[in-house]
Amino acid sequence: MVIGNRQEKRVSQCKCGNVWQWLGIHSAPGGDFYHTDIVGYRAIWQSLCVHDLVGKVVWGLVPEDDPALNLLLEPKCLNRKVSDSLWLRVVDLPKMFSGSGYDTDGECVIEMVDDDLCDWNNGRYLLTVSGETADVQPSSREADLTLGPQGMATLLSGHSSVTRLHSVGWAEVRDIEHIGRLDALFATRFRPHLSVGF
């Protein structure tokens, strides 16, 4: 199903199946919801909710930053359950840095520590971002940010900010006054999401 706005531009798409009997009578399975703006997102839900035989919509593998929590007066009615879906292990740290997208120019010396499985990742790297280019070089400078494998994967996936990782002890920041700059450098527009199981 594709829903358009007033100018007939495609703003959202929803892949739904037929009513699944094993979900119980009057249940509609949600599929993959894609939207480019909040108008499209609301249109998807309005379209699903107008069917008089649908008592509930079941949607699994929902992104953590899905807007439904902010649109409902009572978000608890979503019966939201959080579970693992995406596991990430950084195998080649320099390639991960240089292949990531950045919205902010900046420079940072990052140190990876305690990576026993991929010990070639351990060390300091100077990350320089300018425009759409990210350059990564080994460095002997003092680290601005120090992380272990768990913190590094969480940061580079966009799941958590430097501030969050620092507050839970997964990141060491040399100068706390620069934590906002580090947050901006590694910020992502969306949280990580895996829409299919593996």
pLDDT bracket for residue 47 (50, 70, 90): confident
What pTM, to 2 d.p., does this model score?
0.73
At 197 the pLDDT is 64
Lowest mean per-residue pLDDT among 6-20, 36-50, 144-158: 6-20
Lowest mean per-residue pLDDT among 69-73, 82-86, 92-96: 82-86
In the predicted model, what is the mean pLDDT of residues 166-194?
93
Burial class (CB in 10 A: 0-12, 13-18, 19+), 73: exposed
CA 121/CA 115 separation, integer angstroms = 7
Lowest mean per-residue pLDDT among 81-90, 112-121, 165-174: 81-90
Highest CATH level, class, for 93-186: alpha beta
Structure tokens at 152: 């590094």
DSSP string, 5-60: -TT--EEEEE---PPPGGG-TTEEE---EEESSHHHHHHHHHHHHT-TT--EEE--
Residue 128 has pLDDT above 80, yes or no: yes
Backbone angles phi and psi of 126, in degrees to 5:
-95, 115
Residue 188 has pLDDT above 70, yes or no: yes
In the predicted model, what is the mean pLDDT of residues 133-150?
97
Could you tell me the residue ranges of all domains in the chain? Answer: 2-78, 93-186
Enclosing H/E stretch for 129: strand 123-130
> Which comes out higher in pLDDT, residue 76 or 85?
76
> Which comes out higher in pLDDT, residue 87 or 116?
116
At 143 the pLDDT is 98
Residue 123 has pLDDT above 90, yes or no: yes
> Which comes out higher in pLDDT, residue 107 or 25?
107
Contact in structure between 90 and 150 (CB atoms under 8 Å): no
Residue 17 has pLDDT above 60, yes or no: no
At 32 the pLDDT is 66
Contact in structure between 48 and 28 (CB atoms under 8 Å): yes
